[in-house]
Amino acid sequence: MSGTKSVAKRVVVGSATTAGRGLVLGFTAIAGSVTLFVLSVVSIALILIGIGLFTTPHVLTAVRMHANRRRLLAATWSDVKIPVPYRPMPADLRTGVTGQVERTTLMLKDPATWRDLGWLMVDMTAGATVALLSMALFVYPLEGLVLAAGLWRVFEDDAYWYGFVPVDSQLTGLFAAAFGAGMFAVGLRYAGDIQRGYFLLARAMLAPDHDQQLAQRVAHLTETRHDAVDTSAAELRRIERDLHDGAQARLVAMGMDLGTIEALIEKNPAKAKELIANARKSSAEALTELRDLVRGIHPPVLAERGLGDAVKALALRLPVETDVQVDLPGRADAPVESAAYFAVSEILTNAIKHSNADRVWIDMTYAESMLRITVGDDGGGGATIGAGTGLSGLERRLGTFDGILAVSSPAGGPTMVTVEIPCELS
């Protein structure tokens, strides 16, 4: 009996989730896409009289945020990846009217802008229809149940058409309930596929063509190569600084103590013993610092036991309740494991420092040649990927491995950070 209740509960929760997602997609497709499309057309038209030079960048930025929200939902709800093809804005754009003209010109010259506008038209028509269909498959059957429960009496004199069933009696009401049950069954089987079709339609409109993807790929590889070189140089400087200020200084002091001990060992044995104890203490501290330095380069537990156990060991040191789920059938290459480990470490550090979370969870899986790590917390939310943030730097470092970083962190929480790195396991 408990098993039946559990299955029924999963069916109800799953159908409610799918219906809710369909409602969200349909509402934002109609309200959001229609509004942004009208504002975009009006703003671009007003460029001729100068007003559009000031409004167009803001409107097109809102369009991009709307499209990026769809990209995030596509990845998290239906595992559909939609590339982000926008050309980066130069950092040295001038201010004032001249800067507005340059910003407007750059955005209008970007092919992704016109793909976004084309997608808005499709999203507010065909997209909205598809999204609402995935919701209707769960909501419309409720009407059949209500009709069978007695609402049919209202239509005894004039039949009410429920689908293709004319309802005017208890028997036809039962037919309506059966039709609704069949529609609900169709929804259980195909609503998820319908929503995936919605996102595939969005990808067809938003994704760049093959030539643009190649150009974007070349630019991405050039940027990540520079980032990798800069990161390596910074890491070398850190290691040199830590060695110079830590272990090296202690070893030099220990050498001086040993020289003094050599001179005092016959004249003042008591003082020599004291210096020997200090030298032993300095050697232990130098060894600890060297171990910490090596652990910062590549943790021993990561090399010996793999990414899953290394992250579990990392979680044990956190001051909050942490749940770690690992489903990895093998091990990735050492550079990939190291990148994934330090990515998780940085995400957890941000969560502890900024979110005021009471609980953190980590989920690590591997499927279709993709390592996926999701880190969530129940904190206050508000995490973003932007210039100057730690997540922005992490995104650039993951780009060296063709990895991606997605963040969902509404105000009030919860926060979900997803890392995906293409790789093969051995």
Helix (H) or strand (E) holding 229, with range, is helix 210-242
Please report which confidence band the pLDDT of residue 196 belongs to, taking 50, 70 and 90 as the band edges. very high
Q: Residue type at 278?
A: N
Predicted pLDDT at 277: 78
Write down the mean pLDDT value for the chain.
80
Asked if 34 contacts 124 with a C-beta cutoff of 8 angstroms, the reply is yes
Average pLDDT for 200-228: 70
Q: Residue type at 260?
A: T
CA angle 197, 201, 202 (to 5 degrees): 120
Please report which confidence band the pLDDT of residue 222 belongs to, taking 50, 70 and 90 as the band edges. low
Considering the domain architecture, whether residues 238 and 384 belong to the same structural domain is answered as: no
Q: Is the pLDDT of residue 7 over 90?
A: no
Considering the domain architecture, whether residues 133 and 7 belong to the same structural domain is answered as: yes
Predicted pLDDT at 276: 77
Tokens of 322: 């942490």
Please report which confidence band the pLDDT of residue 226 belongs to, taking 50, 70 and 90 as the band edges. low
Domain annotation covers residue 375: yes
Q: What is the CATH number of the domain that holds 353?
A: 3.30.565.10
Average pLDDT for 79-84: 84
pLDDT, one tens digit per residue, over 368-403 is: 888 999 998 888 877 776 555 667 777 777 777 778
Q: Is the pLDDT of residue 103 over 70?
A: yes
| 188 vs 267 pLDDT, higher one | 188
Closest CA to 54 of 63, 43, 40: 43
Predicted pLDDT at 198: 94
Tally of domains in the chain: 3
Domain annotation covers residue 315: yes
Q: Where are the alpha helices (DSSP H) in 298-362?
A: 300-305, 307-316, 334-350
Whole-angstrom distance, CA of residue 290 vs CA of residue 231 = 21
Question: Among 36-45, 73-82, 116-125, 398-407, which stretch is predicted with the lowest mean pLDDT?
Answer: 398-407
Q: Residue 156, Cβ neighbours under 10 Å: how many?
A: 11
Residue 243 DSSP symbol: I
Predicted pLDDT at 356: 82
3-class DSSP assignment, residue 297: helix
Q: Is the pLDDT of residue 267 over 70?
A: yes
Domain annotation covers residue 364: yes
CA angle 112, 122, 85 (to 5 degrees): 15
Domain annotation covers residue 10: yes
Q: Is the pLDDT of residue 157 over 60?
A: yes
Q: Is the pLDDT of residue 247 over 80?
A: no
Closest CA to 338 of 222, 409, 232: 232
Q: Is the pLDDT of residue 228 over 60?
A: no
- In terms of C-beta distances under 8 Å and separation of at least 24 residues, what long-range contacts does 109-117 make, across chains too? 110/86, 111/85, 111/208, 111/212, 112/85, 112/86, 112/87, 112/206, 112/208, 113/60, 113/63, 115/85, 115/205, 115/206, 115/208, 116/60, 116/63, 116/64, 116/67, 116/206, 117/37, 117/40, 117/63
Considering the domain architecture, whether residues 43 and 134 belong to the same structural domain is answered as: yes
Question: Among 27-41, 138-152, 213-227, which stretch is predicted with the lowest mean pLDDT?
Answer: 213-227
Whole-angstrom distance, CA of residue 95 vs CA of residue 29 = 34
Tokens of 286: 């130098």
State how far the alpha carbon of 210 is from the alpha carbons of 119, 120, 215, in Å: 18, 22, 9
Considering the domain architecture, whether residues 401 and 275 belong to the same structural domain is answered as: no
Give me the phi and psi of 298, to 5 degrees please: -160, 100
What is the signed CA dihedral for 12, 15, 19, 24, rounded to 10 degrees?
Answer: 90
Give the bridge partners for 73, in sequence order: none
Domain range for 282 is: 222-297
Average pLDDT for 180-203: 89
Q: Is the pLDDT of residue 412 over 90?
A: no
Predicted pLDDT at 59: 93
Domain annotation covers residue 320: yes
Asked if 164 contacts 140 with a C-beta cutoff of 8 angstroms, the reply is no
| 350 vs 125 pLDDT, higher one | 125
Burial code (b: 16+ CB inside 10 Å, e: under 16) for 105-126 equals ebbeebebbebbbebbebbbee
| 397 vs 199 pLDDT, higher one | 199
Q: Tell the residue number behind the tokens 């992704």, with chain if given.
A: 112
Question: Among 143-157, 167-181, 222-236, 396-410, which stretch is predicted with the lowest mean pLDDT?
Answer: 222-236
Predicted pLDDT at 39: 94
Considering the domain architecture, whether residues 201 and 263 belong to the same structural domain is answered as: no
| 331 vs 250 pLDDT, higher one | 331
Considering the domain architecture, whether residues 204 and 233 belong to the same structural domain is answered as: no
Considering the domain architecture, whether residues 264 and 385 belong to the same structural domain is answered as: no
Average pLDDT for 274-293: 69
Considering the domain architecture, whether residues 230 and 276 belong to the same structural domain is answered as: yes
Domain annotation covers residue 29: yes
State how far the alpha carbon of 157 is from the alpha carbons of 36, 166, 167, 168, in Å: 47, 12, 10, 7
Domain annotation covers residue 174: no
Considering the domain architecture, whether residues 260 and 370 belong to the same structural domain is answered as: no
Domain annotation covers residue 217: no
Please say which residue of 248, 280, 297 terminates a domain: 297
Predicted pLDDT at 38: 94
Give the pTM: 0.56
Q: Is the pLDDT of residue 240 over 60?
A: yes
Percent above pLDDT 90 for the chain: 17
Considering the domain architecture, whether residues 124 and 240 belong to the same structural domain is answered as: no
Considering the domain architecture, whether residues 280 and 327 belong to the same structural domain is answered as: no
Predicted pLDDT at 113: 92
Please report which confidence band the pLDDT of residue 416 belongs to, taking 50, 70 and 90 as the band edges. confident
Considering the domain architecture, whether residues 234 and 293 belong to the same structural domain is answered as: yes
Greatest mean pLDDT among 91-105, 215-229, 290-304, 307-321: 307-321
Please say which residue of 277, 297, 317 terminates a domain: 297
Predicted pLDDT at 249: 66
Predicted pLDDT at 130: 92
